[in-house]
């Protein structure tokens, strides 16, 4: 009789601890999901800012017409891609980066820098590009932490992530060489 | 500018000089110069001497932590204080320094939510990171949106032990503060300066003392000034009595005195034999317009651009150190070139530039209109209620 009671209470304590643990893990996953939501919004707003500054640069008259048309069309395509899937969007943004890296070579940067108001627009561009890189890094960091936690057995068996789809990292080629200077 | 109010948390006592504390102070002052409203929360012993941008985080308790005695704030009262600071601060971004330190930093991670940024300063040992309390700490830390490491070593520990990524933003120097100091040369005597803990072998004082015969035979009128905490007794054996009046130990000096001393020295010697991850003091010497002779550790080599902005010598080689010192101090042209190159190089480490990177991180994690709030959800209850619907990006 007594052994039965002890056994039962030990089991009850163990179950309580296990439920607490599950609760904590669910809370961690929930928090990471929220962080990912915010990081996505931040990344999207910085991408919009970057393509916006690019359009401004294209229409500023500092660049030769061919370069201007090239970057404005790519920037425009990137801005329109907001309605598409995230993969298509990332491709469009990567293309913008590649075009920017091709257009903004040393000579072009020097020429813009020497023009009136050119220095300011270059600085603004560099700042926006840097923020894109940072916010994407922070987003992917949160996604990796979340995916790792969701892979745990307890999280899978007890569906601690609810019905939230598994988050994905955003793979954008976003390194603009010019943004590293100044 | 959508970010206006910034809260910074320093885990160590504001009254005790230290790396993290001066980093926080410099960052706060530089951000203020950029027009941000900054408030720092730190443990404080003597509330009367606080600058107005520092909030009193309560009296710290001295405990043994991470291999030395640290003055930390924790417990119920500290938690209440942190929550109050978050509520009243109305911050757009809160920047937590050394978030794993069991003090105000960890408490802030725990009690706040919203745009949180954290900077890792030191490297920690693995054993501590695996302890039971760490599960709780990690839970709190998952709220941090942007992580910064001040050195490659700090970044590596973070990546290995906690996992994840961090942006490298090195320490800064407030160059203007060093240039402000008056500098007057004492006719005829040349001052060579050593800075750092005397009783810590890796600072390499022994290498400098072994180079003394070489230096004194090459330079008629020069003095060696050794500044830093620790007793000079164990170095007596290196000191020939005839040099007694040419070598002075001045003990520990304040930040203010350090700037003045650096400014007045003709040459700063960094004979470190290892363990330096950055070498901020080299940057400080360059900011003060003092020529630098340093051992060729990887970190120093990087700061001094492989010898362009400071003279390098092989680690631990007293003879090479001696010749380098004599050469730089006899060849005025070379010394001037080094000072000039150093003046230019140090601008890369100027807080005015470094702060740009920090602001970029703030902006990368902050959505416009967002504020840092108190995290009122109990640690267990209330988790399942009020789940927002996620954005539907994943649907094709």
Q: Of A51, A135, A144, A134, whose CA–CA distance to A99 is shortest?
A: A51
Q: Of B171, B175, B147, whose CA–CA distance to B161 is shortest?
A: B147
On whether residue B382 sits in a domain, the answer given is no
Q: What is the CATH number of the domain that holds B245?
A: 3.40.50.2000
Interface test with A, best of B387, B393, B396 (most A CBs within 10 A): B393
Tell me the shortest Cα–Cα distance from A67 to chain B, in angstroms: 28
Both tokens of B155, joined, read 């970044």
Residue predicted with more confidence, A107 or B138? A107
Residues B73 and B144 in one domain: yes
Residues B292 and B329 in one domain: yes
Report the distance separating Cα B101 and Cα A117, nearest Å: 46
What is the mean predicted confidence (pLDDT) over B322-337? 91
pLDDT in tens, B20-41: 888 999 999 999 999 999 999 9
Q: Concatenated DSSP letters for B93-104? A: EEEEESTTSTTH
Report the distance separating Cα B192 and Cα B217, nearest Å: 15
Containing structural domain, residue A160: 2-180
Residues B155 and B104 in one domain: yes
Does residue B329 sit in helix, strand or coil?
helix
Report the distance separating Cα A82 and Cα A76, nearest Å: 11
- Binning pLDDT at 50, 70 and 90, where does residue B396 land? very low
Q: Of B47, B26, B161, B152, whose CA–CA distance to B95 is shortest?
A: B26
Tell me the shortest Cα–Cα distance from B351 to chain A, in angstroms: 14
> What pLDDT is recorded for position B323?
93
- Binning pLDDT at 50, 70 and 90, where does residue A108 land? confident
Q: Does B391 touch chain A (CB under 8 A)?
A: yes
Q: Please judge whether B145 and A138 are an interchain contact, meaning their C-beta atoms are less than 8 angstroms apart.
A: yes
Residues B92 and B127 in one domain: yes
Residues B149 and B238 in one domain: no
Residues B105 and B121 in one domain: yes
Task: Provide the domain count of chain B.
Answer: 2
Task: Provide the domain count of chain A.
Answer: 1
On whether residue B387 sits in a domain, the answer given is no
Find where tokens 């009595």 sit.
B241
Write the ipTM: 0.84
- Binning pLDDT at 50, 70 and 90, where does residue B76 land? confident
> Considering CB atoms only, which of B143, B364, B370 is closest to A135?
B364
> What pLDDT is recorded for position B185?
57
On whether residue B396 sits in a domain, the answer given is no
- Binning pLDDT at 50, 70 and 90, where does residue B385 land? very low
On whether residue B386 sits in a domain, the answer given is no
C-alpha radius of gyration, chain A, whole number: 24
> What pLDDT is recorded for position B392?
34
Residues B328 and B197 in one domain: yes
Residues B59 and B183 in one domain: no
Q: Concatenated DSSP letters for B349-374? A: GBHHHHHHHHHHHHHHHPPTT---EE
> What pLDDT is recorded for position B139?
75
Q: Please judge whether B145 and A140 are an interchain contact, meaning their C-beta atoms are less than 8 angstroms apart.
A: no
Tell me the shortest Cα–Cα distance from A151 to chain B, in angstroms: 15
Q: Of A131, A137, A75, whose CA–CA distance to B368 is shortest?
A: A131
Containing structural domain, residue B10: 5-172+351-374
- Burial (0-12, 13-18, 19+ Cβ within 10 Å), B220: exposed
pTM of the model: 0.82
Q: Of B67, B19, B77, whose CA–CA distance to B43 is shortest?
A: B77
> What pLDDT is recorded for position B391?
35
> What pLDDT is recorded for position B187?
60
CB A107 within 8 A of CB B137: no
Residues B324 and B357 in one domain: no
On whether residue B228 sits in a domain, the answer given is yes
Report the distance separating Cα B208 and Cα B100, nearest Å: 37
- Binning pLDDT at 50, 70 and 90, where does residue A61 land? confident
Q: Which residue of A has its CA nearest to B117?
A: A138
Q: Of A62, A43, A45, whose CA–CA distance to A121 is shortest?
A: A62
On whether residue B189 sits in a domain, the answer given is yes
On whether residue B269 sits in a domain, the answer given is yes
Q: Is the pLDDT of residue B379 over 50?
A: no
On whether residue B388 sits in a domain, the answer given is no
């Amino acid at each position: 009789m007594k052994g039965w009671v002890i056994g039962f209470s030990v089991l009850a304590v163990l179950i309580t601890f296990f439920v607490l643990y599950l609760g904590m893990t669910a809370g961690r996953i929930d928090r990471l999901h929220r962080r990912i939501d915010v990081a996505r919004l931040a990344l999207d707003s910085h991408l919009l800012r970057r393509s916006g500054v690019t359009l401004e640069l294209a229409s500023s008259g500092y660049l030769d017409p061919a370069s201007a048309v090239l970057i404005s069309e790519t920037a425009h395509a990137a801005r329109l891609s907001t309605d598409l899937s995230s993969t298509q969007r990332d491709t469009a943004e990567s293309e913008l980066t590649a075009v920017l890296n091709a257009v903004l070579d040393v000579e072009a940067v020097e020429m813009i820098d020497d023009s009136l108001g050119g220095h300011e627009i270059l600085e603004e561009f560099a700042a926006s590009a840097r923020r894109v890189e940072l916010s994407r890094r922070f987003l992917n960091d949160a996604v990796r932490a979340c995916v790792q936690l969701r892979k745990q057995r307890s999280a899978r068996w007890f569906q601690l992530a609810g019905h939230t789809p598994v988050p994905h990292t955003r793979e954008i080629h976003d390194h603009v060489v010019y943004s590293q200077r100044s | 500018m959508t970010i206006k109010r910034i809260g910074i948390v320093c885990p160590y006592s504001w009254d005790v000089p230290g790396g993290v504390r001066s980093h926080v102070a410099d960052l706060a002052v530089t951000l203020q110069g950029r027009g941000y409203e900054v408030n720092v929360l730190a443990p404080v012993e003597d509330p009367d001497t606080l600058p107005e941008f520092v909030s009193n985080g309560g009296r710290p308790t001295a405990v043994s932590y991470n291999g030395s005695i640290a003055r930390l704030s924790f417990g119920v009262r500290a938690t209440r204080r942190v929550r109050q600071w978050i509520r009243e601060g109305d911050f757009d971004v809160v920047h937590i320094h050394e978030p794993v330190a069991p003090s105000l930093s960890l408490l802030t991670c725990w009690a706040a939510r919203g745009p949180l940024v954290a900077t890792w300063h030191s490297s920690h040992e693995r054993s501590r990171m695996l302890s039971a309390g760490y599960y709780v700490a990690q839970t709190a830390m998952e709220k941090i949106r942007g992580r910064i490491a001040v050195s490659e070593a700090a970044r590596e520990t973070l990546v290995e032990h906690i996992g994840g990524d961090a942006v490298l933003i090195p320490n800064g120097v407030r160059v203007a503060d060093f240039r402000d100091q008056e500098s007057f040369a004492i006719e005829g005597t040349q001052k060579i300066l050593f800075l750092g803990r005397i009783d810590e072998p890796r600072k390499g004082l022994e290498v400098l003392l072994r180079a003394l015969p070489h230096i004194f035979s090459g330079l008629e009128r020069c003095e060696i000034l050794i500044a830093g905490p620790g007793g000079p007794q164990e170095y007596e054996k290196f000191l020939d009595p005839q040099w007694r009046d040419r070598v002075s130990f001045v003990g520990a000096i304040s930040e203010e005195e350090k700037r003045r001393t650096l400014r007045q020295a003709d040459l700063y010697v960094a004979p470190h034999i290892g363990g330096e991850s950055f070498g901020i003091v080299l940057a400080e010497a360059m900011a003060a317009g003092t020529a630098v002779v340093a051992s060729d550790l990887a970190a120093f080599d990087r700061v001094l651009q492989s010898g362009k902005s400071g003279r390098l010598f092989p680690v631990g080689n007293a003879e090479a150190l001696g010749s380098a010192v004599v050469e730089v101090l006899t060849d005025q042209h070379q010394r001037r070139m080094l000072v000039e190159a150093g003046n230019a190089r140090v601008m890369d480490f100027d807080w005015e530039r470094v702060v740009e990177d920090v602001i970029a991180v703030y902006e990368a994690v902050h959505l416009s209109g967002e504020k840092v709030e108190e995290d009122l959800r109990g640690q267990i209850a209330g988790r399942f209620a009020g789940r927002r619907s996620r954005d539907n990006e994943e649907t094709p």
